Amino acid sequence: MIKATHVNTKARKTRATETGDLVGVRIQNDLAKQIDDWRRQENDLPGRPEAIRRLVEIGLKVKR
């Protein structure tokens, strides 16, 4: 019997160098679509969690 071999070609994701507090958030479909549309416009195509972090940082920098 021939043993099947598995080749993993997926790039491994790197973990953040710092750990932080885990915040679980549920978002509605319309907001998720807006986030996904925004992140697709970014040059490096961040994942949804990274896009949300960036959007929060942008929001916090805006002057009131």
- The answer to whether 35 and 27 have CB atoms below 8 angstroms apart is yes
Regarding predicted confidence, which is higher, 61 or 19? 61
The pair of three-digit structure tokens given for residue 26, joined into one six-digit string: 């549920």
Model confidence at 34, pLDDT cuts 50, 70, 90, reads very high
* 36-58 pLDDT per residue, tens: 999 999 999 999 999 999 999 99
Give the Cα separation of 12 and 22 in Å (integer). Answer: 21
pLDDT for the residue numbered 3: 72
Average pLDDT, the chain: 88
What distances in angstroms separate CA 64 from CA 38, 59, 61, one per listed residue?
22, 10, 9
pTM over 0.85? The answer is no
Query: Is 51 in a helix, a strand, or coil?
Result: helix
Please check the confidence at residue 1 and state whether its pLDDT lies above 70: no
- The answer to whether 33 and 39 have CB atoms below 8 angstroms apart is no
